[in-house]
């Protein structure tokens, strides 16, 4: 089963969707270091060019990458990812990283 809804806020741009988790955790203001980390995550996932676009204008794969970026940005101690067909992953580089 593949979910096609990634719980992105339609009224937030990509960068705002990624920052949202940090705001919920009551992180201090988005200082320079944190902004650099967000930029690194977006670069790593190849979505930096989408920063000011809204979810309705993104493909399913782009929306999925934004959701992954949001999960990574809050720096959780553990993350679980499920891929029923890892060899057919849309993100071969990321599959190797994980």
Q: What is the mean pLDDT of each run of 10 residues along the chain (98 residues)?
A: 72 93 66 81 95 96 92 76 57 54
Q: What's the pLDDT at 3?
A: 52
Q: How many CB atoms lie within 10 A of CB 45?
A: 20
Contact yes or no for 64/6 (Cβ under 8 A): yes
Q: What's the pLDDT at 71?
A: 87
d(CA 52, CA 60): 17
| Sequence ranges of the domains in the chain | 14-97
């Amino acid at each position: 089963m593949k979910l096609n809804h990634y719980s992105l806020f339609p009224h937030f741009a990509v960068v705002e969707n990624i920052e949202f988790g940090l705001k919920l955790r009551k992180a201090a203001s988005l200082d320079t270091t944190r902004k650099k980390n967000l930029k690194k995550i977006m670069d790593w996932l190849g979505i930096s060019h989408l920063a000011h676009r809204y979810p309705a204008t993104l493909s399913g794969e782009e929306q999925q990458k934004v959701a992954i970026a949001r999960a990574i940005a809050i720096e959780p101690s553990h993350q679980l990812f499920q891929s029923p067909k890892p060899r057919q992953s849309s993100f071969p580089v990321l599959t190797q990283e994980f």
